[in-house]
Chains A and B, each alone.
Chain A
Amino acid sequence: MRTLFARTAASRVVGIALLIVAAHARFLGAQQAKPLSHDSLAGALDALRQGSDSAWLPPTAAFSIGDSTIAANHHAKGPVAIAGGTLHVRGIIDGDAVSYAGDIVVHQGGEIRGNAHAILGKVVLDGGAVDGDTQELSGDLKRVSVAGPVVARSAGSRTLHDLALAGGWLAVLVVVGIGVLIFALPNLDAVSDALERSFGKSLLAGIATQLALAPALVLLCIGLALTILGALLIPFAVVAYIIAAAGLVTLGYLALARLAGRSVIADAGSTDGERRAVALRSLVYGLLLLMLPWIVAGGLSWSPRIEIFARMIAVAVTWVAATAGLGAAVVSRGGVRRAIAPATQRALNTASWATPTPVSGVTAARRPTPFTTAAPK
Chain B
Amino acid sequence: MSARTLFVTASLLACAAPAGAQTWRTVEASRQTHDTAAISARIEYAAGKLDLKSATGPALYHAALRYDADQTEPVVQFDNANRALTLGVHLRGAKMMNGEEEHQSGSMTAELSGAVPMDLSLELGAVEGDLQLGGLRLTDLSIRSGAADITARFDKPNREQLRTMNLQVGAAQLKMLDLANAGVSRIVAEVGAGALTLDLGGTLARDVDITATLAVGGLTVNVAENTGVFADERSFVGGFKKDGFSKRADGWYSANYDSATRHVRVHLRAFVGGMTLTRTQN
Q: Which residues of A contact B236 (CB under 8 A)?
A: 215
Determine the chain A residues whose CB is within 8 A of the CB of B5 once the complex forms. 10, 13-14
**What's the Cα separation between A146 and B95 when bound, in Å?**
11
Q: A13-B5, A20-B16, A53-B73 are in contact. Are A141 and B25 (CB under 8 A)?
A: yes
Q: How many residues of A contact B (CB 8 A)?
A: 36
**Residue with the greatest number of chain A CB neighbours at <10 A, chosen from B24, B28, B75, B216:** B28
Decide if B272 touches A137 in the complex (CB within 8 Å).
no
Instruction: List B residues 6-46 near A (Cβ within 8 Å).
Output: 8-9, 12-13, 15-16, 18, 21, 23-32, 34
Q: How far is the CA of A10 from the CA of B6 in the complex (A)?
A: 8
Q: Judging by beta carbons under 8 Å apart, are A20 and B24 in contact?
A: no
Closest beta carbon of chain B to A134's beta carbon, Å: 5
The B-contacting residues of A in range 6-63, CB under 8 angstroms, are 6, 9-10, 13-14, 17-18, 20-21, 24, 51-53
Whether A53 lies near B25 (C-beta < 8 A) is no
Cβ B12 vs Cβ A140 within 8 A? no
Q: Which of A51, A52, A135, A218 meets B29, CB within 8 Å? A: A135
> Known contacts A10-B1, A133-B29, A139-B24; is A145 also within 8 Å of B70 by CB?
yes
Interchain CB contact under 8 A, A140 and B9: no
B77 within 8 A of A: yes
Q: Are A52 and B73 in contact (CB under 8 A)?
A: yes
Per DSSP, chain A at the interface is mixed
- Among candidates A14, A133, A134, residue contacting B12 with C-beta atoms closer than 8 Å: A14
In the bound assembly, the distance between CA atoms of A54 and B259 in angstroms comes to 61
Nearest CB to that of B64 among chain A residues?
Answer: A136
Give the residue name and chain of the B residue nearest to A51 (CB): B73
Q: How many Å lie between the Cα of A43 and that of B86 in the bound state?
A: 29
Specify which chain B residues have a CB less than 8 angstroms from the CB of A2 in the assembled complex: 2
Tell yes or no: B76 within 8 A of A by CB.
Answer: yes
| Interface 0/1 of A130-155, CB less than 8 Å to B | 11111111111110111100100000
For B13, the chain A residues whose CB sits under 8 A away are 17, 20
C-alpha spacing A145/B95, complex, angstroms: 13
| Cross-chain contact of A21 among B16, B66, B70, B216 (Cβ < 8 A) | B16
B29 touches A134 (CB 8 A): yes
Given A2-B2, A13-B5: A140 in contact with B16 (beta carbons within 8 A): no
- Chain B residues with CB under 8 A of A51: 69, 73
Q: Is A129 part of the binding interface, using a Cβ–Cβ cutoff of 8 Å?
A: yes
Q: A14-B12, A140-B23, A144-B23 in contact; A129/B216 too (CB < 8 A)?
A: no
Q: Any chain A CB within 8 A of the CB of B244? A: no
Known: A133-B78, A147-B93. A20 touches B12 (CB 8 A): yes
Chain B residue numbers with a CB within 8 Å of A17 are 8-9, 12-13, 16
B1 and A133 within 8 A (CB): no
Known: A6-B1, A218-B237, A218-B272. A139 touches B25 (CB 8 A): yes
**Nearest Cβ in chain A — how far from B33, in angstroms?**
11
Asked if B247 is an interface residue, CB under 8 A from chain A, the answer is: no
A contact residues around B34 at 8 Å (CB): 131
Q: Which residues of B69-101 are within 8 A (CB) of A? A: 69-70, 73-78, 80, 92-93
Could you say which of A13, A130, A139, A142 has the most chain B C-beta atoms within 10 Å of its C-beta?
A139
**B32 cross-chain contacts in A, Cβ below 8 A:** 129-131
Indicate if the CB atoms of A144 and B27 lie closer than 8 Å.
no
**A10, A17, A18, A141 interface centre (most CB from chain B within 10 Å):** A17
Question: How distant is the Cα of A218 from the Cα of B270 in the complex, in angstroms?
Answer: 14
Contact call A137/B25, Cβ cutoff below 8 A: yes
Residues from chain A with Cβ under 8 Å of B80 in the complex: 132
Max count, chain B CB within 10 A of own CB: residue among A14, A130, A141, A142 = A14
Known A-B contacts A21-B12, A144-B69; A133 and B31 likewise in contact (beta carbons under 8 Å)? yes
Q: B67 to chain A: closest CB distance in Å? A: 9
Residues of B within 8 A of A (CB): 1-2, 5, 8-9, 12-13, 15-16, 18, 21, 23-32, 34, 66, 69-70, 73-78, 80, 92-93, 216, 236-237, 272
Please name 22 pairs of A and B residues whose Cβ atoms are closer than 8 Å in the assembled complex, sorted by A.
A9-B1, A14-B5, A20-B12, A20-B13, A129-B32, A130-B32, A132-B31, A133-B31, A133-B76, A133-B78, A135-B28, A136-B29, A139-B24, A139-B26, A139-B69, A140-B25, A142-B23, A144-B69, A146-B69, A147-B93, A218-B216, A218-B237
Q: Which 10 residue pairs spanning A and B have beta carbons closest together?
A: A139-B25, A17-B12, A10-B5, A136-B28, A144-B69, A135-B29, A24-B16, A21-B16, A140-B23, A17-B9
- Which A residues form the contact surface with B (CB < 8 A)? 2, 6, 9-10, 13-14, 17-18, 20-21, 24, 51-53, 129-142, 144-147, 150, 215, 218, 222
